[in-house]
């Protein structure tokens, strides 16, 4: 009898994941609770533990995309009789005939980050050891995207093909003072406005949509490995200063690859800020299974008319709201964007 070990289901992180490392060989014995594999969905690394004692078999290949919830290996319950006992040594022997892959820990880590399968690389280092340069050279070679990068690419294409994206643009006047803590202020403004516009706050499943009574706002954070979007739970109830601290903590975890699955749960809307790079308006891609995302542009100092009609120096910023027209009509989307502007002006 064999027990299937399935790919963990990581919500809000696409439909597929990849195995980035196996810690138990094909045919090798394992015990319940033992670490047997590492998987990665988007940018979240998750440990997979054995659910029972037995022998590992039918492993999927490292780097191959696997739908979440599908089997990645089996744990066979080896019976104590002679016929079954003879099976295990044969499997172990077959596995031991395969030469081990020689690669430094740094090269293995880089391969996981870049979605490169080590088994297809000939090492140029001492004694055939795979080096970091070997990984970079393979990644730079033309060919189909594979591994984690391929999973991300497919999820992005899926978002664009399965939604009817429309982007609305507006400009918000932030006043004459130098703007501070913009990302935190926008997150709070969105969460507050979403309470009155539940049609933009929630998750889709096929043609159905589930609205969330309390918004969880995902914040896009750029790291050396790519973009991540951890979630701030109920930001509407938090002061801006607390949100600044929360975003800082999430950014630190992202930079050290220490974000957990819990950091990604509960997202109903996403905010992405490219303003620090001098970008004004853009068309962000919806973070499935959500139905809307807000892009934040640069806060620029421009001449504007003051209350008395005179010209003053003011800071203005472009907001770009992309929403799925399959679930949200243009008018309520525009109303939501108007309310976000109102929240920012009143902050």
What pLDDT, in 10s, does the model give residues 308-317?
888 999 999 9
pLDDT of residue 329: 97
pLDDT at 172: 96
Please report the pLDDT score of residue 82 as a whole number. Answer: 36
Taking domain 165-346, whether its CATH number is 3.30.559.10 is answered by yes
pLDDT in tens, 152-168: 677 788 888 899 999 99
pLDDT of residue 156: 80
User: What DSSP state is assigned to residue 26?
Assistant: T
Return the closest-CA partner of residue 77 out of 66, 87, 64.
87
What is the band of 147 on the pLDDT scale with cuts at 50, 70, 90? low
pLDDT in tens, 177-194: 878 999 999 999 999 999
Q: Which residues contact 218 (CB under 8 A, 6 or more apart)?
A: 12, 229, 230, 231, 232, 264, 267, 269, 270, 271, 287, 290
d(CA 299, CA 319): 10
Q: Which residues contact 206 (CB under 8 A, 6 or more apart)?
A: none
The closest alpha carbon to 35, from 19, 27, 24, belongs to 24
- Asked if pLDDT for residue 337 goes beyond 90, the answer is yes
How many of the other CB atoms lie within 10 Å of CB of 176? 12
Three-state SS at 85 = helix
Q: How far apart are CA 12 and CA 218, in angstroms?
A: 10
Task: Return the H-helix or E-strand segment holding 193.
Answer: helix 182-194
pTM here is 0.72
* pLDDT mean over 129-149: 68
Q: pLDDT tens digits for 10-66?
A: 656 667 788 888 999 989 999 999 999 988 876 577 788 998 999 999 999 888 888
Q: What is the pLDDT of residue 95?
A: 43
Alpha-carbon distance of 101 to 99, in angstroms, equals 6
Q: Is the pLDDT reported for residue 140 higher than 60? A: no
Q: What is the pLDDT of residues 59-95, one digit of tens each?
A: 998 888 888 889 999 999 873 343 344 444 444 444 4
pLDDT at 144: 56
% residues pLDDT > 90 (the chain): 50
For 347, the 3-state DSSP assignment is: coil
The pair of three-digit structure tokens given for residue 23, joined into one six-digit string: 């810690």
Supply the pLDDT for residue 151: 67
Q: Which two tokens stand for residue 173?
A: 């006047």
Measured in residues, the chain has a length of: 347
Q: Where are the domains of the chain?
A: 2-151, 165-346
User: Over the stretch 216-267, which tens digit does the pLDDT of each residue have?
Assistant: 999 999 887 678 899 999 999 999 999 999 999 999 998 887 888 889 889 9
Instruction: Give pLDDT, residue 41.
Output: 75
Condensed to tens digits (0 to 9), the pLDDT of residues 99-115 reads 667 787 777 777 766 66
Q: Which residue has the higher pLDDT, 81 or 300?
A: 300
Contact status, residue 286 vs residue 322, Cβ threshold 8 Å? yes
Number of helices followed by number of strands (H, E) in the chain = 8, 18
Q: What is the pLDDT of residue 93?
A: 40
Number of C-beta neighbours around residue 31 at 10 A: 11
For residues 251-262, b (16+ Cβ closer than 10 Å) or e, as one string?
bebbeebebebe
Same fold? 2-151, 165-346: no
CATH topology of domain 2-151: OB fold (Dihydrolipoamide Acetyltransferase, E2P) (2.40.50)
């Amino acid at each position: 009898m064999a027990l299937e070990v399935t790919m963990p289901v990581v919500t809000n992180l696409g439909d597929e994941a990849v195995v980035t490392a196996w810690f138990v060989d094909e045919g090798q014995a394992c015990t319940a609770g033992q670490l047997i594999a590492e998987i990665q969905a988007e940018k979240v690394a998750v440990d997979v533990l054995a659910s029972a004692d037995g022998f590992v078999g039918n492993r999927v290949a490292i780097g191959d995309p696997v739908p979440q919830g599908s089997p990645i290996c089996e744990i066979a319950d080896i019976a104590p009789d002679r016929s079954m006992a003879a099976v295990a040594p044969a499997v172990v022997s077959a596995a031991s005939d395969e030469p081990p892959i020689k690669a430094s820990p740094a090269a293995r880590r880089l391969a996981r980050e870049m979605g490169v399968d080590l088994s297809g690389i000939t090492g140029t280092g001492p004694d055939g050891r795979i080096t970091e340069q070997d990984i970079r050279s393979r990644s730079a070679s033309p060919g189909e995207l594979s591994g984690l990068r391929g999973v991300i690419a497919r999820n992005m294409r899926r978002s664009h093909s399965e939604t009817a994206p429309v982007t609305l643009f507006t400009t918000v006047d932030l006043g004459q003072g130098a703007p501070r803590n913009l990302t935190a202020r926008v997150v709070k403004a969105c969460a507050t406005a979403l309470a009155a516009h539940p049609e933009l706050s929630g998750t889709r499943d096929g043609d159905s949509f589930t609205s969330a009574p309390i918004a969880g706002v995902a914040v896009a954070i750029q790291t050396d490995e790519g973009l991540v979007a951890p979630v701030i739970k109920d930001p509407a109830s938090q002061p801006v200063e607390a949100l600044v601290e929360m975003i800082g903590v999430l950014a630190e975890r992202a930079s050290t690859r220490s974000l957990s699955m819990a950091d990604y749960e509960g997202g109903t809307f996403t905010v992405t800020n490219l303003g620090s790079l001098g970008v004004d308006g853009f068309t962000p891609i919806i973070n499935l299974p959500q139905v809307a995302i807000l892009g934040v542009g640069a806060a620029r100092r421009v001449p504007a008319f003051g209350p008395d009609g005179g010209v003053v120096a003011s800071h203005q910023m472009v907001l770009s709201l992309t929403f799925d027209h399959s679930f949200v009509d243009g008018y309520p989307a525009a109303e939501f964007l108007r309310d976000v502007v109102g929240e920012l002006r009143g902050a």
